[in-house]
Amino acid sequence: MTDKEFDQHHYVSFSYFLERACGIVLGDNKQYLVRSRLAPLIKQFSCASINAYIDSVIKGNQQHQAAAIEAMTTNETLWFRDDYPFKLLENPILSQFSSKNKPFRIWSAACSSGQEAYSIAMTILNFKKQHSNSFRAGIEIVGTDISEEMLQRCRTAEYDQLAISRGLPEQFKSDFFEPADNTKLRLKSHVKALANFKSINLLESYSSLGKFEIIFCRNVLIYFSPEVKKQILQKIAACLQDGGILFLGASESISGLTNKFDMLRCDPGLYYLKKPL
């Protein structure tokens, strides 16, 4: 496909649609990305060109809109990503919450194919092995994403060799996985049982999710404008219990976006503590 077929007007219209629909900001020079991500859809829906596909999206074809959003999200993830959040959970964070008399709730916002939510689950299960009386009121991990395809993978909890090879320690593999077929491993049912997965667009309301002790919102704010980041951080703060904890991605920060949190530097890593009201 030539650039002539994909004109600037359609690129700008599509960028505007995408930002309003899911917050993702494309910027000025991502024509190649849009072209390569939409190419399979143009074929799948038998559209005459990328311009025709975008016209249909802009006119409100919901199937084409959903497929475009699905195609434009970046779902890169791995087990125990950045390591330090899970080390900090292990010590000292989990023990701070382990004797409370209400369910311990963690939210993995923008969870992609589930590695983050299940890394949290495995970390808690390991902690419970050493502290048998901990979390007696129950544990609930909620994973959310905008991508139905990713949520489906989370619920299936089956991972191929490539996904397994990315960050999963051998011990966790043997303790928490079983063969699904010749090519995939599946998380054991007691790990799966700790997590629920729901469709949530971070631009919309999350009040239906209730309150959490800990929120992981990692490697998604980077795609959004400062204004959208501010709104999301505001809503996230409202979903945290007093004294609740927020983890962002290693390259993300709240600086200049919200005053609802205190930053706690650790060695290594950092997290954000919700300020008392």
Ligand X SMILES: C[S@@+](CC[C@H](N)C(=O)[O-])C[C@H]1O[C@@H](n2cnc3c(N)ncnc32)[C@H](O)[C@@H]1O
User: Minimal distance in Å, beta carbon 203 to ligand X?
Assistant: 5
Q: Where on the chain is the footprint of ligand X (CB under 6 A)?
A: 22-24, 73-77, 81, 110-112, 116, 145-147, 150, 201-203, 218-220, 249
Residue 141 host element (H or E): strand 139-145
Q: How far apart are CA 88 and CA 131, in angstroms?
A: 16
Write b or e for each residue in 155-192: b if 16 or more Cβ atoms lie within 10 A of its Cβ, otherwise e: eebbbeeebeeebbeeebeeebbeeeeeebbbbeeebb
User: Minimal distance in Å, beta carbon 116 to ligand X?
Assistant: 5
Cβ-based neighbours of 93, under 8 Å, separated by 6 or more = 214, 245, 271
User: Which of 118, 176 has the CB closer to ligand X?
Assistant: 118
User: Minimal distance in Å, beta carbon 52 to ligand X?
Assistant: 25
Residue in the structure block whose two tokens are 């699905």: 70
User: Which of 8, 234 has the CB closer to ligand X?
Assistant: 234
User: Minimal distance in Å, beta carbon 111 to ligand X?
Assistant: 6
Strands 158-160 and 184-187, bridge-based pairing: antiparallel
User: Which of 26, 47 has the CB closer to ligand X?
Assistant: 26
Instruction: Give the tokens for residue 248.
Output: 């962002």
User: Which of 24, 142 has the CB closer to ligand X?
Assistant: 24
User: Which of 98, 147 has the CB closer to ligand X?
Assistant: 147
Q: How far apart are CA 83 and CA 102, in angstroms?
A: 28
Instruction: Give the tokens for residue 117.
Output: 């939510």
User: Which of 47, 67 has the CB closer to ligand X?
Assistant: 67
User: Which of 112, 258 has the CB closer to ligand X?
Assistant: 112
User: Minimal distance in Å, beta carbon 85 to ligand X?
Assistant: 10
User: Minimal distance in Å, beta carbon 100 to ligand X?
Assistant: 25
Q: How far apart are CA 202 and CA 73, in angstroms?
A: 13
User: Minimal distance in Å, beta carbon 113 to ligand X?
Assistant: 7
Q: In 23-169, which ranges are continuous DSSP H helix? A: 31-44, 50-58, 62-72, 84-88, 94-97, 115-130, 148-156, 161-165
